[in-house]
Amino acid sequence: MTGLCTPLGPGSYLAFLLWALLLVALLSDSQLWLLLIIVLAFGWLNRRAGWQVLARRRFWLFILSIVAPAPFVLGEPNVRWGVLRLSQAGLEAGLWMVVRAVTLTLAFSVSLEVLSVTQMVDLFDALGLRGLGFALGVALNLGSVLRDMVEATYHTLRLRGGRRRPFQSLRLFLITVIANALRYGDDVVKAASARAFDPTAIQWRGNHILEGADKAFIAGLVVLGIGLLLDKTGI
Amino acid sequence: MKFSAYTVRDWVYVALFGALWGTLEITLGAYLHVIFPPLANTFFSGLVMAGMGVVVALVGSYFVPRTGAVLSIGIITALLKAVSLGGVKVGPMVAILAGAVLMEVALLLKRVPASWRYVLAGSLAVSWNLPHKFVMMRLLYGKGFTEVYLQMIREGSQLLGLDMGYAVAIIGALFVVRLVVGAGAGWLAWELAGLVARRMGRE
């Protein structure tokens, strides 16, 4: 990862996500655009991480499906547009809903897309969940093996006339896939044990969950969050 | 939750079933969302994916009979979904985690494995699909969404000349369908795990 946020560790991104979620819940509609700008800027500083979600047609279709009916069903109709009677207040409410949705979706995308798998594993290690980090690493490498296993089982059953007895074949398919996966899992256990892997051992890599830059970043988030919340109350 | 009691085998099995569920979500889940676009039909694809997820996670809990195993499988699946090619998708990630938490709660009730606990866990997890849509919409769009939704139901009922009570009855019927599918998935997981364990001589 490069960019202005290079010194930040995984703890900072996790803190940013929690901070954004908290503020989305606490801030009023009219203040959400500030949060949206901050989230967009944070993504931009991290090589536009998470921005690709904005380029997806399905995302905008989803949002449009909520915004479009808002001027018709929210508030009192006060604007006439051809044969349609629309509510300006309803349209405004719909637009604020969009700001909220985009902010939340971007906060998730920015925080999770910036983290590499290694950083996620390190984060679990730092939180004392080494086993979960190990499991994530194993799971990521198992995906292609499982797909091959499923494919081989399917073709074997199909070539033996499995389609003539679909229910019995489905039962055999499920049993074979799970049994083969468990056998493969046992091989992984042997390999891990041969390397003396201990999921309960504390692994010291010389890095804490929060380094100096992370602490400064989180302090900045706290100050910014308090500022936004005080502004909400008009102080 | 005592993760310190987990052995290497437990963690590998958690990874295995997390990867199985994740693979289903990434491949079949993506296909279903293309065939049945979320805007048009979240009921069918949600039901199928939740049912399959329940089977995989509960079979996993049979082979890792420890507290927190289903939740761990759910966390691995959600992270696999996050790092998949489609990018971060908040809705499915929340659904996977919520389902895993509900299954974990049902399995906490009694330590000894029993078929009724699997049925309960399955029902709880799949029935989450109903509140999930409302919770996600409330989270994403704020409280204004509730007004939009209620107004749309009111106007839809008027347009079709139906009483509002019918709308409630339809929602209730869909909830019962979810409960039944979840119970079936839980029962299937129990039977399937037992069969595999017997064939592998692990009972």
Q: Locate tokens 């074949």: which residue?
A: A169
Chain A contacts in chain B segment 97-136 (CB below 8 A):
none
- Encoded amino acid at B89, one letter: K
Calculate the CA dihedral of residues B4, B7, B9, B13 and round it to 10 degrees: -20
- For the entire predicted model, the pTM comes to 0.79
- Cross-chain Cβ contact B11/A135 below 8 Å: yes
Return the bridge partners of A81, or none: A84
| Displacement of CA A163 from its chain's centroid (Å) | 39
**Is residue B87 scored above 70 in pLDDT?**
no
Q: CB-based contacts of A145: which residues, under 8 Å, 6+ apart?
A: A184
Strand, coil or helix: what is B190? Answer: helix
Residue-level pLDDT at A54: 79
CA distance A210 to A32: 28
Residue-level pLDDT at B171: 77
Q: Where are the domains of chain B?
A: 3-127+182-199
Residue-level pLDDT at A51: 76
Among candidate residues B24, B16, B12, B15, the one with its CA nearest the CA of residue B54: B24
- Cross-chain Cβ contact B145/A66 below 8 Å: yes
Q: Where are the domains of chain A?
A: 10-116+207-233, 129-194
Tens-digit pLDDT profile for residues A186-227: 999 999 888 888 777 765 555 566 677 888 888 999 998 888
A and B: number of Cβ contacts within 8 A: 162
Choose, out of B3, B6, B11, the residue to mutate when testing the contact with A (most A CBs < 10 Å): B11
Tens-digit pLDDT profile for residues A74-107: 777 777 777 778 888 888 888 888 888 888 888 8
Of B45 and B144, the structure prediction assigns the larger pLDDT to B45
- Average pLDDT of chain A is 81
**Is residue A182 scored above 90 in pLDDT?**
yes
- Nearest-CB residue to A139 (from B76, B148, B200): B76
Stretch among A185-199, B107-121, B169-183 having the lowest mean pLDDT: B107-121
CA distance A98 to A64: 8
Residue B30 contacts A, CB cutoff 8 Å: no
Give the sign of the dihedral formed by CA A143, CA A144, CA A145, CA A151. Answer: positive
Strand, coil or helix: what is A2? Answer: coil
- DSSP code at position A219: H
- Cross-chain Cβ contact A108/B152 below 8 Å: no
Q: What is the mean pLDDT of residues A54-74?
A: 77
Among candidate residues A19, A140, A98, A133, the one with its CA nearest the CA of residue B6: A133
Q: What is the mean pLDDT of residues B174-181?
A: 90
Tokens of A6: 């290079």
Residue-level pLDDT at B15: 94
Pair A218, A133: CB distance under 8 Å: no
Return the bridge partners of A86, or none: A79
Q: Locate tokens 């003396």: which residue?
A: A196
- Average pLDDT of chain B is 83
The string of DSSP letters for B3-44 reads: GGG--HHHHHHHHHHHHHHHHHHHHHHHHHHHHS-TTT-HHH
- Cross-chain Cβ contact B11/A134 below 8 Å: yes
